[in-house]
Amino acid sequence: MEKPYVIGMDMGGTNTVFGVVDARGNVISKSAIKTGSHTDVNLYIQDLYDELIKLIDSAGGDDKFKGIGVGAPNGNYYTGNIEFAPNLPWKGVIPFAKLMSDKFGIPAALTNDANAAAFGEMTYGAAHGMKNFIMITLGTGVGSGIIIDGKVLYGHDGFAGELGHVTAIRNNGRLCGCGKSGCLEAYASATGVARSAREILETSTKESLLRNTPVESITSKDVFDAAMEGDEVAKEIFNYTGKILGECLADFVAFSAPEAIVIFGGLSKAGDLIMNPIRENMEKNLLPLWRGKIKLLFSDLKEADAAVLGASALAWEL
């Protein structure tokens, strides 16, 4: 029997969003539950079942579904386990894909959220038809998914591709949430932009709209809004961020020779403010054989549906 639908599920530390997706990448229906309020994973799966089964039934029942794809923090594609995720209420190793498959009677696969985004971009988005590209997600952190020869790069343990935690600044780099110093994530994420704003404002004497906001409260959106009004300090912050990210992207190109690098996430809304310095500094630092050959693209996925679509793409592989 033809199975025209899959389920995409994006698990965050606060909320879990899930939806029914067809083969064209249309989100037919969508809902959500709270993640963090469940200290017992079995109670969480029961609540998930109670809500998701409504969507499954409205689409014609479970025999219409090819699979369930899950994007989760510290999700291991090889094992189907969530392993020691610091921002989830369940500690240790959770055999999540098996728990889902047993509960719903539908095959389930799991990967981390950044790899799910790369799957979605390859299946439905700007990288459709590409076999080699890198997905960079600029949100609260910096996530990444690496596609080589049409397959996600997982490495021997399932956790390859943590490009947000390569060392971007080697001497006196910022402390990252992972415990290392100088990580790309500490500079190129939304929180990194806010940190750059605080540092630059403290060392600069230039007038800036950002000085109207208490320095400890400045967000990346404040920087964007100021830059759009022509604020020179805000533009300097984006140039600094783009320089660091562009230099790192040049190194990533040397590793996998991608056709394109796709930028996604909240920080990508800054458009040319962030893309122009990224492109300039990436090109400047590329080996000559790659200059002018690597596409820099913004994601085509609708932000509201991107996480669900990314996870759903995994389910078509089952």
Which residues, at least 6 apart from 217, have a Cβ–Cβ distance to it below 8 Å?
A: none
CA–CA distances in Å: residue 194 to residues 8, 16, 63, 186, 261:
32, 27, 48, 10, 24
* Domain residue ranges in the chain: 5-120+304-315, 130-299
Q: Which two tokens stand for residue 205?
A: 């004497």
Which residues, at least 6 apart from 118, have a Cβ–Cβ distance to it below 8 Å?
A: 127, 133, 135, 144, 145, 146, 147, 152, 310
Which CATH number applies to 130-299: 3.30.830.10, 3.40.50.1100, 3.40.720.10, 3.30.420.40?
3.30.420.40
Q: What is the distance between the alpha carbons of residues 86 and 62, in angstroms, rounded to a whole number?
A: 33
What are φ and ψ of residue 128, in 5° steps? -60, 125
Q: Which two tokens stand for residue 91?
A: 């500690």
Q: Which CATH number is 5-120+304-315 given?
A: 3.30.420.40
Q: What is the pTM of this model?
A: 0.88
Digit-by-digit pLDDT tens for the chain (318 residues) are: 589 999 999 998 888 999 999 999 999 999 999 997 888 999 999 999 999 999 999 999 999 999 999 999 889 999 999 998 877 889 899 999 999 999 999 999 999 988 998 989 998 999 999 999 999 999 888 999 999 999 999 999 999 999 999 999 999 999 998 899 999 999 999 999 999 999 999 999 999 999 999 999 999 999 999 999 999 999 999 999 999 999 999 999 999 999 999 999 889 999 999 999 999 999 999 999 999 999 999 998 887 788 899 999 999 988
Q: Quick check: do 5-120+304-315 and 130-299 share a fold?
A: yes
- Edge-first strand listing for the sheet containing 260-264: 151-152, 142-148, 133-138, 260-264, 295-298
Q: What is the distance between the alpha carbons of residues 138 and 265, in angstroms, rounded to a whole number?
A: 5
Q: What is the distance between the alpha carbons of residues 277 and 187, in angstroms, rounded to a whole number?
A: 14
